[in-house]
């Protein structure tokens, strides 16, 4: 697929380097593999990411002939290693989510360890069952607090919950849109008074 690199980045051909960099950074943030960790759409996202990287590289190298720009290097790291659930992990990787789930469900409850909970959470997340996946990741982390793989999965879920990536962030005070609170007015008056006094005048006679 040969697309116009400027169209891919959504900028006009006479955009400045700075504008192109900003557009590139925004898109790279959007399609970043971290956003699609454990998502069945990871392949589509990485395809988009590749397109954006290529477009950016093309533009930059044609603009500065000779020195091809480095694209920042967003690569998906796939945590792997020896595991007794090797086959389940392979299935998940190959998109055979239902098979993986069937094997996991066959494990008797007393033998369900941290890794089991992590993998079950991964499978649930692929199905879109975000709430139960979250519970599984939490259990996995409680059972094995030192494992970075489980911790990362839980962290992703927690940051999705925070509202930072969509939805509503209940913890953050909303910006006052165009408003002016009583506090703002008082501060403003105090400032104005001080300024006036500097110049020899006085806005608020009592202070």
Binding-site ranges for another protein (CB under 8 A): 30-31, 35-36, 39-41, 44-45, 47-48, 124, 128-132, 134, 157, 160-171, 174, 177
Burial class of residue 6, CB neighbours in 10 A (0-12, 13-18, 19+): middle
Contacts of 102 (CB under 8 A, 6+ apart): none
Q: Which is nearer to another protein, 106 or 128 (CB)?
A: 128
CB of 35 to another protein, least distance (A): 5
How many Cβ atoms sit within 10 Å of the Cβ of residue 151? 16
How many Cβ atoms sit within 10 Å of the Cβ of residue 116? 20
CB of 206 to another protein, least distance (A): 37
Q: Which is nearer to another protein, 30 or 84 (CB)?
A: 30
Q: Which is nearer to another protein, 21 or 33 (CB)?
A: 33
Q: Which is nearer to another protein, 159 or 194 (CB)?
A: 159
Contacts of 92 (CB under 8 A, 6+ apart): 100, 119, 122, 123, 126
CB of 136 to another protein, least distance (A): 11
What is the spatial distance between Cα 17 and Cα 62, in angstroms, rounded to a whole number?
A: 12
CB of 130 to another protein, least distance (A): 4
């Amino acid at each position: 697929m040969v697309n116009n690199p400027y169209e891919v980045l959504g900028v006009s051909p006479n955009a400045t380097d700075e504008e192109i960099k900003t557009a590139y950074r925004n898109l790279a943030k959007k399609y970043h593999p971290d956003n699609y960790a454990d998502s069945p759409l990871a392949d589509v996202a990485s395809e988009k990411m590749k397109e954006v990287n290529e477009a950016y590289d093309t533009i930059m190298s044609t603009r500065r002939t000779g020195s091809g720009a480095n694209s920042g290097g967003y690569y998906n790291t796939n945590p792997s290693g020896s595991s007794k659930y090797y086959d389940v992990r392979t299935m998940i990787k190959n998109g055979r989510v239902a098979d993986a789930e069937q094997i996991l469900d066959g494990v008797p409850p007393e033998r369900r360890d941290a890794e089991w909970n992590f993998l079950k959470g991964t499978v649930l997340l692929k199905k879109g069952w975000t709430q139960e996946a979250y519970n599984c990741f939490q259990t996995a982390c409680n059972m094995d607090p030192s494992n970075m793989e489980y911790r990362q999965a839980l962290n992703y879920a927690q940051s999705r919950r925070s509202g930072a990536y969509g939805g509503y962030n209940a913890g953050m005070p909303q910006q006052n849109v165009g408003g002016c609170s009583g506090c703002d007015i008082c501060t403003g008056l105090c400032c104005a008074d001080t300024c006036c006094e500097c110049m020899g005048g006085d806005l608020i006679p009592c202070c």
